[in-house]
Structure 1
Amino acid sequence: MGVELSLTRLAGSDSSDRLLVVGPSLGTSVAMLWRTCAQTIGGEVIGWDLPGHGAGSSTTEPFTVQDIADELTNRTNALANGRPVAYAGVSFGGAVGFELASRHGGPFDVIVCIGAAKRIGTPEMWHERAAVVRRLGTPVMVEGSAQRWFAPGFVAREPQTAGGLLRALADTERESYALVCEALAGFEAGVSVKPTKVLVGEHDVVVSPESADRVLRGCGHLPPVEDPVAVAGVLAEVLEEMRCPTTTA
C-alpha cells in the first residue's frame, strides 16, 4: 500500500548546491522539530510529515516504513536535479533512514539517523499503544511523551518550544498515529550499504546512547529541537564531507 507525503521547504531554495531531506518523530510536526536547526545548516532543507501529523493529510490505510521510504525516494528523485543529497531523520524518521541506507541506488548519498535504531521497541508495545490511541485519542500520549522526548530540565527551560510540540502531538489525528505505531511494530532494518551515522542524545530513554556514533550532550530523544546548533554542526560536517569526499591512494 502506498502513502502520500506532505513536503515543506524549511530553508534554502532549489538553487542551493546541495539538498538535505529531514524526517520527523512519531507525534511531531517536521517544521516544529526541524526549522530552527534547518535554518542554521545552509543549503536547501526539505522536511516531510507523517500522515495526520503537522501538514500531513490523514489516512485510514495501513502503510509500512518501506512504503514511506519508497515515496520519499520518488519525491526526492524529482527534487535532486543532480545535486548531492543527504537524509536525516528522528526516531520514526530515523527508522526510515535505516531503510533508505539498506538500499542500493536512490538519491541519498549519506544517511543520518537520530534517536533511532534498526528496531525501536517491541511489536507488542507498538500494538498496545495503537489500541490505546484509537480508544482515547492522541492527548493521552502527552504526559508520557513529555517525559520521553526531552532531557531533564528542558520543559522548564524552554516551555514554549516544548509546549508547542506537545500541543502538536495532541492535535495529531488518532488513526494516523495508530497506523504509524503499527508500521513501527512491523519494521526491522536490514544491513546498511550506504554511509550512515547514528546520533543519540545522552538522556534518550527510547534508544540507547551506546548505539550511537556520536552522543549529543544534554539532549533527550529530540535533539534537533533540544540543541539545534549542535545537530546543525554535525549535519554541516556530513554535508561538507559529501561535497568534498575523502579520497584514498
Structure 2
Amino acid sequence: MQATLAAGHALHFRDEAAADADRDLPALVFTNSLGTDLRVWDPLLAHLPGAGRRLRFDQRGHGLSDCPPGPYDIDGLADDLAALLEERGIGRAVLVGLSVGGMVAQAFAARHPERVPALVLCDTAHRIGSAEMWQQRIEALETGGLESLAEPILERWFSPAFGAERPAERALWRNMLTRTPLEGYLATCAAIRDADLTEGAAALTMPTLCLVGSADGATPPALVRELAGLLPDARFAEIPGAGHLPSVEAPAAMGRLIADFLKERKLA
C-alpha cells in the first residue's frame, strides 16, 4: 500500500507506470466519486492507453484514506490533490474526475491551469443538485445511516440491466458504499451542497471531454451537457445504457472515448 500525508491526514493512493512508460506524457490522475474509492477505476484501466503514468487515490473520508472531521469543501479536496501531486513529483496531469471527483478536478484546474493540459469530466457538473436536496439527504443519513439510502443510491449509480445481469457485482458496490465512513460521506455531501463552480467554468480553457452514462440518475445527461456548454473547449458524449458509474458498467465504451480524446490531443 502507498500513502502520503495531506494537511496532516493520510491519503491512500496507487501510482503505477509500465517500465517503458513515456515520461514526457502527462500523468493520468483519477479522482473518485462519493461513496466509492480508487477501485472504481479498476475496470476502466485495461481500456486506456498504457504509455503513461497513472495515479489513483481515495479521497479523504473514503476507502483507506483518513476521515478527518467535516464538513469538507471542494477547495480543500483540491488541496489534497495538490499535496499528493507534489509528493509524487507530478508536474502536469490529465485529470479524470467522476462526480464529486469531477468537481475537484475543475477546482484544481481553475487554480493550476498550467498543470492541466486536458480534463476528462465524468458524470459531473458545475453544480450538482440543490442545497436543500443535499441537506435533506444529510439529515436522513444522520438518522438512518448509509444502509437506509443504499438502494436509492444504487439505482442512480447503475442501470436496471446491471443489477439484473450482474447481481454479484452490484452487491460488492453496495458493500463499498455502505462501508464508507458515515462521517466522510456526510462531510463530502456538504462539500457538494456548498459548491457552485458555474462562474469559474469559462476560465477552464483546456480541452475537456464531458462524459455521462445515458441512464445516469445522479447527474443526468442534460446536466452534463450544460456543463460542456459552459466550457470554452469541451466535447460532450453519452455512454449508452450506463448509469452514474460508467467506469464500472461500460468500461470499454468509456475507455474508447477517453483514448480517442487523448490521442487526438497527443496526450497518449
State the TM-score bracket (shorter-chain normalisation): 0.7 to 0.9
Question: Structure 1: 5+ residue runs without aligned partners?
Answer: none
Give the deviation of 1:209 after TM superposition: 1.2
Q: How does 1:152-163 map to 2 (within 5 A)?
A: 152-163=160-171
Verify: 1:95 aligned to 2:100, yes or no.
Answer: no
Change (3 A) 1:3 1:227: farther
2:211 corresponds to: 199
Q: Which one of 16, 22, 36 corresponds to residue 21 of structure 2? A: 16
1:55 corresponds to: 64
Change (3 A) 1:39 1:5: farther
Q: Judge conservation of contact 1:25–1:93 (CA < 8 Å) in 2.
A: yes
* d(CA) in 2 for partners of 1:34, 1:71: 19
Change (3 A) 1:10 1:193: same
2:181 corresponds to: 173
* d(CA) in 2 for partners of 1:30, 1:2: 20
* d(CA) in 2 for partners of 1:90, 1:198: 10
1:6 corresponds to: 11
* d(CA) in 2 for partners of 1:160, 1:10: 29
* d(CA) in 1 for partners of 2:267, 2:141: 46
Change (3 A) 1:10 1:77: closer
Q: Judge conservation of contact 2:71–2:186 (CA < 8 Å) in 1.
A: no
* d(CA) in 1 for partners of 2:246, 2:220: 14
What is the DSSP-based 3-state SS (H/G/I as helix, E as strand, rest coil) of the residue aligned with 1:153? helix
Give the deviation of 1:244 after TM superposition: 5.6
Q: How does 1:128-147 map to 2 (within 5 A)?
A: 128-147=136-155
Q: Which one of 135, 138, 156 corresponds to residue 127 of structure 1? A: 135
The one-letter amino acid paired with 2:63 is: G
The one-letter amino acid paired with 2:242 is: C
The one-letter amino acid paired with 1:8 is: F
Q: Judge conservation of contact 2:109–2:115 (CA < 8 Å) in 1.
A: no
Q: Give the TM-score normalised by structure 2.
A: 0.82
Change (3 A) 1:7 1:16: farther
Change (3 A) 1:244 1:145: closer
Verify: 1:237 aligned to 2:260, yes or no.
Answer: yes
* d(CA) in 2 for partners of 1:185, 1:204: 19
* d(CA) in 1 for partners of 2:250, 2:67: 30
Q: Give the TM-score normalised by structure 1.
A: 0.87
* d(CA) in 2 for partners of 1:57, 1:116: 24
Question: Structure 2: 5+ residue runs without aligned partners?
Answer: 1-5, 226-235
What is the DSSP-based 3-state SS (H/G/I as helix, E as strand, rest coil) of the residue aligned with 1:8? strand
Give the deviation of 1:161 after TM superposition: 2.0
What is the DSSP-based 3-state SS (H/G/I as helix, E as strand, rest coil) of the residue aligned with 1:62? coil
Give the deviation of 1:242 after TM superposition: 4.1
What is the DSSP-based 3-state SS (H/G/I as helix, E as strand, rest coil) of the residue aligned with 1:146? helix
* d(CA) in 1 for partners of 2:38, 2:147: 19
Give the deviation of 1:11 after TM superposition: 4.8
Verify: 1:35 aligned to 2:42, yes or no.
Answer: yes
* d(CA) in 1 for partners of 2:240, 2:15: 25
2:242 corresponds to: 219
Q: Which is further off, 116-125 or 209-218?
A: 209-218
RMSD of the alignment, in Å?
2.4
